[in-house]
Amino acid sequence: MEAKQLIDPNKIKQDFSIFKRKINGKPLVYLDNGATSLTPDIVVNAINNYYHNFNANIHRGVHTMGEDATIAYESAHDKVAKFINADNKEIIFTSGTTASLNILVRSIRLNPGDVIILTEMEHHSNIVPWLEAAKKEGYIIKYVKITENGELDMNHLKSLLLNSHVGVVSVTHMSNVLGSINNVKEIAKLAHEKGALCIVDGAQSVPHIPIDVKDIDCDFFCFSGHKMAGPTGIGVLYGKKELLNDMEPANFGGDMISEVHFDHATWNDLPWKFEAGTPNIAGGIGLGAAVEYLDSIGMDKIRDYEEFLTEYALTKLKGIEGVTIYGSSKKRGGVISFNVKDIHPHDVGTILDRDGIAIRGGHMCAMPLIKTVLKLNSVCRISLYFYNTTEDIDKLVTAIHKAKEVFCNDQS
Amino acid sequence: MTNPNELNIKEEIYRENILDHFKNPHNFGELAPCSFYHCEVNQLCGDEVKLFVKLDDKETVAAARFNGHGCAISVASASMLTDYIIGKSIGELKCIQSSEIIELLGVKLSVVRMKCGLLVLKTLRNGIKTMEVRQ
Supply the CATH number for residue B20's domain. 3.90.1010.10
Among residues A78, A346, A24, A219, the alpha carbon closest in space to that of B46 is found at A346
Between β-strands A197-201 and A29-30, what pairing exists: parallel, antiparallel or unpaired? unpaired
CB atoms B6 and A402 under 8 Å: yes
This prediction has a pTM of: 0.92
**Sequence-ordered list of residues with C-beta below 8 angstroms from that of A218, at least 6 positions apart, any chain:** A184, A188, A198, A199, A200
- Domain housing B116: 4-134
What type of residue is A276? A
CA torsion angle for B101, B106, B112, B114 (degrees, to 10)?
A: 0
Q: B58: pLDDT confidence band, cut at 50, 70 and 90?
A: confident
Interface test with A, best of B12, B13, B20, B45 (most A CBs within 10 A): B45
Q: B1: pLDDT confidence band, cut at 50, 70 and 90?
A: very low
Kindly state the percentage of chain B with pLDDT values over 70.
Answer: 91
Looking at beta carbons, which residues of chain A come within 8 Å of B10? 406
**Cα A357 from chain centroid (whole Å):** 22
CB atoms B45 and A378 under 8 Å: yes
Alpha carbon distances (Å) from A381 to A258, A337, B33 = 47, 4, 40
**Sequence-ordered list of residues with C-beta below 8 angstroms from that of A44, at least 6 positions apart, any chain:** A17, A286
Residue B64: the pLDDT is 97
Q: B8: pLDDT confidence band, cut at 50, 70 and 90?
A: low
Give residue-wise pLDDT tens across range A110-131.
Answer: 999 999 999 999 999 999 999 9
Q: Determine the 3-state secondary structure of A180 from DSSP.
A: strand
**Sequence-ordered list of residues with C-beta below 8 angstroms from that of A47, at least 6 positions apart, any chain:** A231, A282, A283, A285, A286, A289
Give residue-wise pLDDT tens across range B10-32.
Answer: 456 788 889 999 999 999 999 99
Between β-strands A166-172 and A197-201, what pairing exists: parallel, antiparallel or unpaired? parallel
Which domains, and CATH codes, for chain A? 9-30+298-408 (3.90.1150.10), 44-296 (3.40.640.10)
A235 burial (CB, 10 Å; 0-12 / 13-18 / 19+) is buried
Does A2 score more than 90 pLDDT? Answer: no
Looking at beta carbons, which residues of chain B come within 8 Å of A407? 14, 19, 72
Looking at beta carbons, which residues of chain B come within 8 Å of A363? 45-46
Looking at beta carbons, which residues of chain B come within 8 Å of A377? 46-48, 69
The active-site residue, picked from A198, A218, A222, A365, is: A365
Q: Determine the 3-state secondary structure of A149 from DSSP.
A: coil
CB A205 within 8 A of CB A211: yes
Q: Taking each helix axis from N to C terminus, what angle separates B111-134 and B98-105, rounded to the nearest 10 degrees?
A: 130
Q: A3: pLDDT confidence band, cut at 50, 70 and 90?
A: low
What type of residue is A237? L
The ipTM (two decimal places) reads: 0.83
A182 burial (CB, 10 Å; 0-12 / 13-18 / 19+) is buried
The torsion angles phi and psi of B91, rounded to 5 degrees, stand at -60, -45
**Sequence-ordered list of residues with C-beta below 8 angstroms from that of A297, at least 6 positions apart, any chain:** A7, A12, A386
Q: B42: pLDDT confidence band, cut at 50, 70 and 90?
A: confident
Mean pLDDT over the full length of chain A? 96
Give residue-wise pLDDT tens across range A220-249.
Answer: 999 999 999 999 999 999 999 999 999 999
Does A4 score more than 80 pLDDT? Answer: no
**Cα B36 from chain centroid (whole Å):** 15
Between β-strands A220-224 and A235-239, what pairing exists: parallel, antiparallel or unpaired? antiparallel
Among residues A396, A360, A384, the alpha carbon closest in space to that of A9 is found at A384
CA–CA separation, A223 vs A94, rounded Å? 9
Range A14-26 average pLDDT: 96
Among residues A357, A343, A369, A344, the alpha carbon closest in space to that of A179 is found at A369
Alpha carbon distances (Å) from A357 to A24, A362, B25 = 10, 16, 29
Other CB atoms within 10 Å distance of the CB of residue A108? 23
Structurally, chain B folds into a number of domains equal to: 1
Residue A287: the pLDDT is 98
Say which of A354, A361, A371 has its CB closest to residue B9.
Answer: A354
Range A29-34 average pLDDT: 98
A191 burial (CB, 10 Å; 0-12 / 13-18 / 19+) is buried
CA–CA separation, B16 vs A291, rounded Å? 49
Long-range contacts of A237-240 (CB under 8 A, 24+ apart): A237/A91, A237/A92, A237/A94, A237/A99, A237/A100, A237/A103, A237/A104, A237/A274, A238/A84, A238/A86, A238/A90, A238/A91, A238/A92, A238/A213, A239/A90, A239/A92, A239/A104, A240/A90
Say which of B12, B45, B73 has its CB closest to residue A345.
Answer: B45
The torsion angles phi and psi of A335, rounded to 5 degrees, stand at -110, 120
Give residue-wise pLDDT tens across range A285-333.
Answer: 999 999 999 999 999 999 999 999 999 999 999 999 999 999 999 999 9
Give residue-wise pLDDT tens across range A366-412.
Answer: 999 999 999 999 999 999 999 999 999 999 999 999 999 999 855 44
CB atoms A402 and B70 under 8 Å: no
Q: In what order do the strands lie in the sheet with A360-362?
A: A323-326, A335-340, A379-383, A360-362
Long-range contacts of A277-280 (CB under 8 A, 24+ apart): A277/A251, A277/A253, A278/A57, A278/A58, A278/A254, A279/A58, A279/A73, A279/A93, A279/A255, A280/A93, A280/A95, A280/A233, A280/A234
Concerning whether A198 is annotated as a catalytic residue, the answer is no
Nearest CA in chain B to A412: B16
Residue A408: the pLDDT is 80
Is the peptide bond between B33 and the residue preceding it cis, with omega within 30 degrees of 0? Answer: yes
Give residue-wise pLDDT tens across range B61-96.
Answer: 999 999 999 999 999 999 999 999 999 999 999 999
Give residue-wise pLDDT tens across range A37-68.
Answer: 999 999 999 999 999 999 999 998 789 999 99
Other CB atoms within 10 Å distance of the CB of residue B11? 12
Range A211-220 average pLDDT: 98
Q: Determine the 3-state secondary structure of B12 from DSSP.
A: helix
CB atoms B45 and A411 under 8 Å: no
CB atoms B116 and A346 under 8 Å: yes
Between β-strands A379-383 and A360-362, what pairing exists: parallel, antiparallel or unpaired? antiparallel
Among residues A412, A400, A353, the alpha carbon closest in space to that of B13 is found at A353
**Sequence-ordered list of residues with C-beta below 8 angstroms from that of B126, at least 6 positions apart, any chain:** B38, B40
Q: A5: pLDDT confidence band, cut at 50, 70 and 90?
A: confident
Among residues A123, A97, A36, the alpha carbon closest in space to that of A237 is found at A97
What type of residue is A246? D
CB atoms B5 and A354 under 8 Å: yes
